[in-house]
Amino acid sequence: MREGYDVARLIIDALKSRGEALEESDVVVIKQKIISKAEGRVVRLEDVKPSRRALRIAKALKKEPELVELILKESRRVVRMGHGVMITETKHGFVCANSGVDRSNVEGGYAALLPIDPDASARRIRRSLEKEAGVRLSVVITDTFGRPWRNGQTDVAIGSSGIEPLQSYRGRVDAYGYTLRVTEPAVVDEIASAAELAMGKLSGVPVAVVKGLRYRRSGLGTKSLIMPKGKDLFR
């Protein structure tokens, strides 16, 4: 995958080669890395000039100064540092490790950054896929995030289009007559995690198609999942 590649075209061609096609309401789940590569969000580390702050942090965390500089540039703020990891709030508003800057599945000496606007990327790909397939679809772009208070990582949605990100159960009554007040499953995150089980980390499969899922269509993207600062108990 190189800068300028048409991700939607690649997906359509791959499906055709398998004798398959997209159907009404399919959810196309795409790993972030191929989006970043297609959008030119891959940086050669030797071209990065570390700042004094990056040099100081790199020494403390035993990280590459060039990598730290990219992490800082991609962030709004540093939330916490330790154990060789920087937890940051990205310019998108995501709180994650190392601003999503990642060296896996890219050429040596390079690092991949998150797409500038993952929701816009999802929207653009969805429209191209719908035009080609002649059906209505949704697209979810995923990345792997760690979680506070739990070991391990899971895939979550960083961008989406055509699907309502949250499914609200507020006001509905459960089997015991209790009125639900806060229950809102993050549907796109659940899709991301489920699809990752099919794609795998080392299989080289960057796309999965979820079929038969009932969901509400929406113009909202994944950015709507970010907790407003006024409601965030941890800021």
The answer on pLDDT for 3 being more than 80 is no
The answer on pLDDT for 185 being more than 90 is no
Cα–Cα distance between 183 and 169 in angstroms, integer? 5
How confident is residue 1, by pLDDT bands cut at 50, 70 and 90?
low
* Percentage of the residues of the chain whose pLDDT score is greater than 90: 79
Q: How many CB atoms lie within 10 A of CB 167?
A: 15
The answer on pLDDT for 233 being more than 90 is no
pLDDT of residue 177: 73
**Domain range annotation of the chain:** 1-39+115-235, 42-114
3-state secondary structure of 88: strand
What's the burial of 229, exposed, middle or buried (CB within 10 Å: 0-12/13-18/19+)? exposed
- pLDDT tens track for 128-184: 999 999 999 999 999 999 988 899 999 999 999 999 999 876 667 677 777 767 678
The answer on pLDDT for 23 being more than 70 is yes
- pLDDT tens track for 80-126: 999 999 999 999 999 999 999 999 888 899 999 999 999 999 999 99
> Residue 193 carries which side chain, given as an amino acid letter?
S
CATH, domain range 1-39+115-235: 3.30.1330.100
Cα–Cα distance between 67 and 98 in angstroms, integer? 9
pLDDT of residue 27: 98
pLDDT of residue 40: 95
The CATH number for 42-114, chosen from 3.10.20.30, 3.40.50.1100, 3.90.1660.10, 3.30.429.10, is: 3.90.1660.10
Q: Determine the average pLDDT of the residues in 64-72.
A: 97
pLDDT of residue 4: 76
pLDDT of residue 178: 73
| Residue of 183, 175, 179, 140 whose CA lies nearest to 27 | 140
